[in-house]
Amino acid sequence: MSKNLVRYARAVALLAAFGEMLAAQSSSPHDGWLMQNYRFTGPPTPRTVQPADPIVSELWRIQNQITWMMRRAKSDEDYEAALAAAAQASANIQVIETLMEQRAAAAAQSKSRSEQAASHNPAAPYLIALRDHTVDLATKYWIEGPLLHYLTPSGAHVQVRLDFVDRDLSARLNQEAKLDFRLPQ
């Protein structure tokens, strides 16, 4: 009977150790593997994100649906529907390319106009300090609701939420440069 008691005590000790090990593993977050293997940096800085053209975005959404329909028709061996979807996908790509070319040409034309205007009016750029400790240059700025919009000297249009702007540092930098830079309170 004492042998059975010893075996029972050993089994209980092993189960307790195994239970502690499981508890230690389950107390770690479920995304621990992600946190160990990937570096999360947070949202991108405001000047690196370019606004998407809503028309092109919608065309890409439609394109993804057509691609899915084409694959589904092929797997169902409905080759007529697959060919129709492929023709529509090809037409969509041509429309997207045409729109992108037109947008690029309009942006280049706008940039050349702004460069010509800047050469006739060489005003000092505004300094916009952000809370992430970066300072951007702006040739023009305006406020729309909770957003500060500004154009960089290279012609890029940047949108930043007003609460991301370091108002005190921006005011001080522009005051030192003798520029009239005002943000609403």
Distance CA 100, CA 157 (A): 17
CB contact at 8 A, 60 and 100 = no
- Judged by DSSP in three states, 146 sits in coil
Distance CA 49, CA 147 (A): 15
- What mean pLDDT value characterizes the chain? 77
Distance CA 100, CA 151 (A): 21
Q: Which two tokens stand for residue 136?
A: 């951007």
What was the pLDDT predicted at 87? Answer: 83
Q: Which residue has the higher pLDDT, 159 or 154?
A: 159
Where residue 118 falls among pLDDT bands split at 50, 70, 90? low
Q: Which two tokens stand for residue 13?
A: 């000790």
H/E segment holding residue 116: helix 79-120
Distance CA 112, CA 106 (A): 10
What was the pLDDT predicted at 24? Answer: 54
Distance CA 81, CA 90 (A): 14
Radius of gyration, alpha carbons of the chain: 30
Q: Which residue has the higher pLDDT, 4 or 68?
A: 68
